[in-house]
């Protein structure tokens, strides 16, 4: 029992001396969740025994810039001590329609990620009946949900004509 007490005192002294001797916050590089440290999510979380823990926009467990990404998973965070999730503004992460096609950021086919700096579509979008977001044949179904569309480059939602739908008297009666 005496050995355990001596060992605990030794560990306490060594741990305290190492923190004081280093004089800075110790960091680990892995994603973590530790509410006891006051840092719910993030990277570069101070180890237990470190003198200070700072809560910033990049380690508070919130989506501070409203882009759907939290803390270090947000493109704008350089590390957990960064106090802005906004980071550098890229055209595909600025909340604007930069190419004037009516689509914004990751909803724009010209953006492959939030780090793209152009919303310009790589290939000009050719509009066909089966990709124009309209019900061209009046059956209540739009584009690829319409059985008349084979693919997005199909230029007719009507599909194949059947005998009873082709406007002809096919059986001669």
Are 157 and 135 within 8 A, CB to CB?
yes
Q: Which has more confidence, 160 or 104?
A: 104
Residue 72, SS3 per DSSP: helix
Residue 173 has pLDDT above 60, yes or no: yes
Q: What was the pLDDT predicted at 135?
A: 92
CA separation for the pair 6, 95 (Å, rounded): 61
Portion of the chain with pLDDT greater than 70, in percent: 60
pTM of the model: 0.28
Q: What was the pLDDT predicted at 37?
A: 47
Residue 123 has pLDDT above 70, yes or no: no
Q: What was the pLDDT predicted at 36?
A: 47
Q: What is the mean pLDDT of the chain?
A: 71
pLDDT tens sequence across 21-69? 444 444 444 444 444 444 444 445 555 665 556 788 888 888 888 878 8
Q: To the nearest 5 percent, what fractions of the chain are helix, strand and coil?
A: 25, 5, 70
pLDDT tens sequence across 96-106? 888 888 888 88
Q: What was the pLDDT predicted at 96?
A: 86
Q: What was the pLDDT predicted at 161?
A: 61
Phi/psi of residue 120, each to 5°?
A: -60, 130
């Amino acid at each position: 029992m005496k050995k355990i007490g001596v060992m605990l005192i030794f560990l306490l002294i060594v741990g305290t001396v190492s923190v004081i001797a280093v004089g800075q916050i110790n960091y680990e590089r892995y994603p973590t969740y530790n509410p006891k440290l006051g840092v719910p999510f993030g990277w570069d979380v101070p180890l237990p025994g470190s003198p200070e823990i700072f809560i910033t926009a990049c380690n508070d467990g919130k989506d501070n810039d409203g882009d759907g990404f939290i803390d270090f998973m947000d493109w704008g965070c350089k590390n957990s001590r960064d106090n802005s999730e906004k980071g550098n503004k890229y055209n595909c992460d600025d909340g604007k329609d930069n190419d004037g096609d009516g689509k914004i950021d990751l909803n724009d086919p010209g953006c492959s990620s939030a780090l793209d700096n152009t919303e310009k579509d790589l290939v000009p979008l050719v509009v066909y009946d089966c990709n124009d977001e309209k019900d061209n044949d009046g059956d209540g179904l739009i584009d690829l949900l319409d059985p008349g569309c084979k693919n997005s480059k199909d230029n007719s939602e009507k599909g194949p004509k059947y005998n009873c739908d082709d406007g002809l008297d096919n059986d001669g009666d």
